Amino acid sequence: MAMLGYAEIIAAFLCFLLLWYWRWNKHSPTINWPIFGMLPGLLQNALHVHEFTTRLLKHNGGTLEFKGPWFTNMDFVITADPANIHHILSRNFSNYQKGPKFREIFEAIGDGIFAADADSWRFQRKLLQSMMKNKKFELFLKRFSRGKVENCLIPILDHFSSMGLEVDLQDVFQRYTFDNVCYLVLGFDPNCLSSEFAQVAHAKAFDQMEQSAFYRHIVPESCWKFQRWLQIGQEKKLSIAWKIFDQFVYQCISSKCEQLSRSRAQKMEVEEEKFDLLTACIEQDDGGEMDGSTKSTKFLRDMAFSLIAAGRDTISSGLTWFIWLVATHPSVEAKIIEEMKEHLVVNNEIMLGIDEVSKLVYLHAAICESLRLFPPVPFEHLCAIDSDILPSGHRIDPSTRMLYCPYAMGRMESIWGEDCLEFKPERWISEKGRIVHVPSYKFVAFNAGPRTCLGKDMSFIQMKIVASTIIWNYRLQLVEGHPVLPSVSVILHMKHGLKVRVTKRAL
């Protein structure tokens, strides 16, 4: 009886402590509970995790130490402070790397550039940089992107327009970018963007791999590793998707190698106008830098995977949010059309070539503004090697994981002013009518410092060509009642797609 009395007293005392703790913390977006840390808050808000982290960061002055449950190794420092980002991505670059945790979470990337550190990263970056700077690659990119727009995108949208049917533009953009990036990287066009709109297994597999990578961010490591061992849930889906995707890439690599050795045997030149990165990589003389491993199938697979990941969903996500913003801001749409009329109409004909659309300042500003509010990569992470002190004063211990959040940064009044939530392309245009230079550690959609995105210029080209073609040729009407929300993934997709009706525009 006496024992029960003590137990009750202890339970009541613990309840009192928890209640007091909750009341003390109730104005914070999350509570750091004993034992469970901040994980309950994160899981409770997992469905709108980007908004949640934005609130959390605002509440904590831009940087906070996230505490996971005890003994789960889930602690990290999260920041949206430009000074901290400048510090970790540039000033003290050598102290921050992707690290083994990143490679575990993004296991399917293998040793590709996204997951690589030190010499392997330097080597791959140099290799890709030299291939992407090649004039032949630029020409190849221009010709193929334009061809896809004229021969696939326009006929498909014309079809939906004439039938008066709804179309999911996000799906259309994903198909367009998947075809584009596969052709540029592998030299093979999977033709996802065709009038049949068939489900393409390896494209779907890619989506699944992204979702599973996100899942590994929000559950304790031991939990997903156990699931992986048992092959259940998300981990089982990941294994299946991974297999499907690998089959596709390895198939492309082996036919490319065969094709090249046939051409060599017959002493034929590789077609002049073809310049995919896979061919360039196989033909490249690596100067013995990597012991000839650039020619290994695994190296080629990992490189192809990284580039497809880099180029497919980022551009399609950027385009989806951009078109939605334009469709919901008629004054911006009108200004884009006005600028196009002024600069691109020659003898009553519109010139929608890549070189022409590249001159449009207002369109460029509107795309930057859209990427500010909806960065395709909403958060990124690195790991500290040695101890450090951030400009915000936070202490970093060796092996601390650092997360930085482009999504939250776009919503910080301290960075963009009181109107930070508004879509205002004008903020990117100077009084002289030029694009305002914003430091990359403030506008971090393409990363910053030595690991800045290698596809930035290429992305602007592709986004401009697709966006200008759609805006010039069609009126877009959003399907009423269709929910527009960011998805919970490592890429900022639209959760339910972008459903619109398109009608031909008479200008």
Annotated binding site for heme: 453
45 vs 95 by CB, closer to ligand HEM? 95
Query: Smallest distance from the beta carbon of 273 to ligand HEM, in angstroms?
Result: 19
Residue number, nearest CB to ligand HEM: 455
Query: Smallest distance from the beta carbon of 451 to ligand HEM, in angstroms?
Result: 4
- 258's tokens: 């065969």
Q: Which of residues 476-495 bind ligand HEM (CB under 6 A)?
A: none
- Give φ, ψ of 443 to 5 degrees: -110, 90
39 vs 464 by CB, closer to ligand HEM? 464
Query: Smallest distance from the beta carbon of 425 to ligand HEM, in angstroms?
Result: 16
Q: Taking the C-alpha atoms of 445, 450, 454 and 460 in order, what is their torsion angle to the nearest 10 degrees?
A: 40
Query: Smallest distance from the beta carbon of 116 to ligand HEM, in angstroms?
Result: 7
Given the rule CB under 6 A, which of 72-80, 395-403, 442-450, 467-475 is the region that contacts ligand HEM? Answer: 442-450
Query: Smallest distance from the beta carbon of 114 to ligand HEM, in angstroms?
Result: 6
Nearest to 170 by CA among 48, 311, 319, 314: 319
Verify binding: residue 459, ligand HEM, rule CB under 6 A: yes
41 vs 82 by CB, closer to ligand HEM? 82
Distance CA 273, CA 142 (A): 11
Given the rule CB under 6 A, which of 163-171, 262-270, 312-320, 347-355 is the region that contacts ligand HEM? Answer: 312-320
Q: Where are the alpha helices (DSSP H) in 106-153?
A: 118-133, 135-148
Residue 432 sits at the vertex; the CA angle it makes with 427 and 438, to the nearest 5 degrees, is 40
Given the rule CB under 6 A, which of 200-208, 327-335, 358-366, 454-462 is the region that contacts ligand HEM? Answer: 454-462
Query: Smallest distance from the beta carbon of 318 to ligand HEM, in angstroms?
Result: 4
| Interaction pattern, residues 149-178, with ligand HEM; x per rule: CB under 6 A | ------------------------------
Distance between terminal CA atoms of the chain? 88
Given the rule CB under 6 A, which of 162-170, 345-353, 435-443, 448-456 is the region that contacts ligand HEM? Answer: 448-456
Query: Smallest distance from the beta carbon of 304 to ligand HEM, in angstroms?
Result: 10
- 260's tokens: 């090249």
Buried b (16+ CB within 10 A) or exposed e, 294-328: beeeebbbbbbbbbbbbbbbbbbbbbbbbbbbbbe
Size of the site for ligand HEM (CB under 6 A): 22
CA distances from 5 to 1, 8, 19, 473 (A): 6, 5, 21, 78
Distance CA 401, CA 383 (A): 4
Buried b (16+ CB within 10 A) or exposed e, 434-443: eeeeeebbbb
Nearest to 143 by CA among 257, 271, 264: 271
Verify binding: residue 99, ligand HEM, rule CB under 6 A: no
Q: Which of residues 380-419 bind ligand HEM (CB under 6 A)?
A: 380
39 vs 169 by CB, closer to ligand HEM? 169
Q: Choose, by CB under 6 A, the member of 127, 193, 307, 363 that binds ligand HEM.
A: 307
The CB-side HSE value for 150 (13 A sphere, CA atoms) comes to 10
Q: Choose, by CB under 6 A, the member of 64, 128, 219, 492 that binds ligand HEM.
A: 128
Q: Which of residues 316-355 bind ligand HEM (CB under 6 A)?
A: 318
Q: Exposed, middle or buried: residue 71 (CB in 10 Å: 0-12, 13-18, 19+)?
A: exposed
Query: Smallest distance from the beta carbon of 453 to ligand HEM, in angstroms?
Result: 3
Q: Where are the alpha helices (DSSP H) in 118-232?
A: 118-133, 135-148, 154-163, 169-186, 201-218, 221-230
Longest dimension (CA), the chain: 98
Query: Smallest distance from the beta carbon of 111 to ligand HEM, in angstroms?
Result: 12
82 vs 318 by CB, closer to ligand HEM? 318
Q: Where are the alpha helices (DSSP H) in 328-439?
A: 330-344, 354-357, 361-373, 406-409, 413-416
Secondary structure (3-state) at 381 = strand
Verify binding: residue 145, ligand HEM, rule CB under 6 A: no
Residue pair 76/218 in contact (Cβ under 8 Å)? The answer is: no
Q: Choose, by CB under 6 A, the member of 101, 125, 146, 505 that binds ligand HEM.
A: 125
Q: Which of residues 248-287 bind ligand HEM (CB under 6 A)?
A: none
Residues that bind ligand HEM (CB under 6 A): 113-114, 125, 128, 307, 310-311, 314-315, 318, 376-377, 380, 445-447, 451, 453-455, 458-459
